[in-house]
């Protein structure tokens, strides 16, 4: 088996008494994979993104990039990691300095990483990156951030990431602040970058619809733990975990602006008031059983590309590192879309 692109081993992140992530094992194959990390607010998905990017060191566990623990990388390895793993954030406006023209966010990384042989080469690379994300260089360069729309600013941030020819982009809710009409277009452009340039994507989202549109595989997090994971057409098309089932049943069609939890996710008030020493989802679970309140469910794999943590599944318990074989990392045909068309991945 080839070395994964990025691997989390037993990652735990605590803030005082609060556990944001718990015993997380995750492995992304080095095959230009696209992985969605999905969950509601408080699920730990943004913490996970920041740990993957090396912005925070986990309280416990290891993050390995191409087999190397990022906590013990040499200065040179860390420099390469900083180029090869790029973030895209939710709010692009915060990244721009309002006093600089937008060119600044594009020329600075080229200079920092020594990726252009001169001014002409830098200009050619910038124009190519802008064109790849659907921006016309002559309408974009020389402008100030406030002169561009939110969608244009976010596309510039995607272009900035692409300029560095990264192996992996970790995008945290990249289209949640973009006009709904532009979301699908920007996600299609990201998907094209994945296919044309072989860049892997980890897409952090609260939105299963766009997760299906963009990604091959998905991890559904609930309160810092994996509820279900596997190929998107299985997990979203036929969810097995009661939490995933509730999420899928509340997919806002056709209103993309409606968030999970607005109504369908409300629990029986008497049950919701209980606390669970076992499954964290027990207070909200419509299929809760007596043992769920006291026993934590272990991870099982009912299907080759499916893994879940629920007492309803009787398969044998997995070891943490078995997660590595859940994600196929195989791209679906381009025709697959959020409308519900299924890919051909097994």
Residue 292 within binding range of ligand SF4, rule CB under 6 A: yes
Between 92 and 283, name the residue whose CB sits nearer to ligand SF4.
283
Candidate segments 144-152, 202-210, 307-315, 330-338, binder of ligand SF4 by CB under 6 A: 307-315
Q: How far is the CB of 226 from ligand SF4 (least distance, A)?
A: 12
Q: What are phi and psi of 259, to 5 degrees?
A: -95, 155
Residue 235 within binding range of ligand SF4, rule CB under 6 A: no
Q: How far is the CB of 287 from ligand SF4 (least distance, A)?
A: 4
According to DSSP, residue 305 is labeled: T
Q: Tell me which of 4, 242, 329, 343 binds ligand SF4, using CB under 6 A.
A: 242
Q: Tell me which of 160, 311, 332, 345 binds ligand SF4, using CB under 6 A.
A: 311
Q: What are the distances in angstroms from CA 167 to CA 6, 76, 153, 281, 345?
A: 10, 17, 22, 35, 23
According to DSSP, residue 86 is labeled: E
Q: How far is the CB of 177 from ligand SF4 (least distance, A)?
A: 32
Residue 222 within binding range of ligand SF4, rule CB under 6 A: no
Residue 246 within binding range of ligand SF4, rule CB under 6 A: no
Q: How far is the CB of 225 from ligand SF4 (least distance, A)?
A: 11
Residue 183 within binding range of ligand SF4, rule CB under 6 A: no
Between 149 and 287, name the residue whose CB sits nearer to ligand SF4.
287
Segment holding 222, helix H or strand E = strand 217-222
Give the residue carrying structure tokens 């679970």.
Answer: 285
Q: How many Cβ atoms from other residues are within 10 Å of residue 59's Cβ? A: 14
Residue 287 within binding range of ligand SF4, rule CB under 6 A: yes
Candidate segments 44-52, 257-265, 279-287, 318-326, binder of ligand SF4 by CB under 6 A: 279-287
Residue 279 within binding range of ligand SF4, rule CB under 6 A: yes
Q: How far is the CB of 211 from ligand SF4 (least distance, A)?
A: 20
The most distant pair of C-alpha atoms in the chain lies apart, rounded to whole Å, by 69
Give the residue carrying structure tokens 């040499």.
Answer: 74
Candidate segments 116-124, 171-179, 267-275, 287-295, binder of ligand SF4 by CB under 6 A: 287-295
Between 58 and 242, name the residue whose CB sits nearer to ligand SF4.
242
Report H helices in the chain.
45-52, 75-84, 103-112, 119-132, 137-140, 150-163, 180-197, 208-214, 232-235, 242-249, 269-272
Residue 294 within binding range of ligand SF4, rule CB under 6 A: no
Query: How is residue 174 written in tokens?
Result: 């990249």
CA 311 to chain CA mean position, Å? 27
Q: How far is the CB of 325 from ligand SF4 (least distance, A)?
A: 23
Q: Which of 244, 216, 227 is nearest to 343 (CA)?
A: 216
Residues that contact ligand SF4, how many (by CB under 6 A)? 14
Q: Tell me which of 310, 323, 331, 336 binds ligand SF4, using CB under 6 A.
A: 310
**Distance of alpha carbon 148 from alpha carbon 220, whole angstroms:** 34
Residue 282 within binding range of ligand SF4, rule CB under 6 A: yes
Asked whether 27 and 327 are in contact (CB, 8 A), the reply is yes
Which of helix, strand or coil describes residue 29?
Answer: coil
Q: What are the distances in angstroms from CA 111 to CA 75, 121, 337?
A: 18, 12, 38
Residues 6+ apart with CB under 8 A from 99: none
Q: How far is the CB of 102 from ligand SF4 (least distance, A)?
A: 46
Q: Tell me which of 65, 201, 212, 281 binds ligand SF4, using CB under 6 A.
A: 281
Segment holding 225, helix H or strand E = strand 225-231
Residue 288 within binding range of ligand SF4, rule CB under 6 A: yes
Residues making contact with ligand SF4 (CB under 6 A): 241-242, 279, 281-282, 285, 287-289, 292, 297, 310-312
């Amino acid at each position: 088996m080839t070395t994964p692109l990025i691997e989390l081993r037993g990652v735990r992140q605590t803030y005082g008494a609060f556990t944001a992530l718990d015993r997380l094992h995750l492995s992304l194959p080095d095959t230009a994979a696209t992985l969605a990390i999905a969950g509601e607010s408080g699920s730990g998905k943004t913490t996970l993104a920041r740990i993957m990017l090396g912005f925070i060191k986990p309280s416990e566990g290891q993050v390995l990039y191409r087999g190397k623990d990022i906590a013990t990388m040499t200065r040179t390895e860390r420099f390469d990691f900083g180029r090869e793993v790029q973030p895209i954030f939710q709010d692009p406006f915060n990244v721009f300095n309002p006093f600089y023209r937008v060119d600044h966010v594009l020329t600075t990384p080229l200079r920092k990483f020594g990726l252009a042989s001169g001014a002409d080469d830098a200009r050619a690379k910038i124009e190519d990156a802008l064109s790849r994300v659907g921006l016309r260089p002559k309408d974009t360069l020389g402008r100030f951030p406030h002169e561009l729309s939110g969608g244009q600013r976010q596309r510039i941030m995607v272009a900035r990431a692409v300029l560095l020819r990264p192996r992996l982009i970790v995008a945290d809710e990249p289209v949640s602040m973009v006009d709904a009409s532009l979301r699908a277009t920007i996600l299609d452009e990201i998907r094209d970058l994945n296919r044309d340039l072989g860049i892997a994507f980890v897409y952090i989202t609260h939105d299963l619809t766009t997760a299906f549109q963009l990604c091959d595989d998905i991890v559904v997090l609930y309160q810092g733990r994996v509820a279900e994971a596997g190929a998107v057409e299985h997990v979203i098309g036929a969810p097995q975990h009661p939490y995933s089932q509730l999420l899928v049943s509340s997919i806002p069609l056709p209103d993309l602006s409606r968030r999970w939890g607005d109504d369908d996710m409300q629990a029986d008030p008497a049950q919701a008031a209980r606390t669970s020493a076992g499954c964290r989802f027990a207070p909200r679970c419509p299929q809760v059983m007596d043992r769920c309140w006291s026993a934590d469910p272990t991870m099982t794999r009912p299907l080759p590309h499916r893994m879940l943590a629920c007492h309803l599944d009787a398969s044998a318990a997995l070891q943490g590192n078995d997660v590595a074989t859940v994600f196929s990392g195989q791209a679906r045909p381009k025709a697959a879309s959020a409308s519900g068309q299924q890919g051909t991945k097994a």
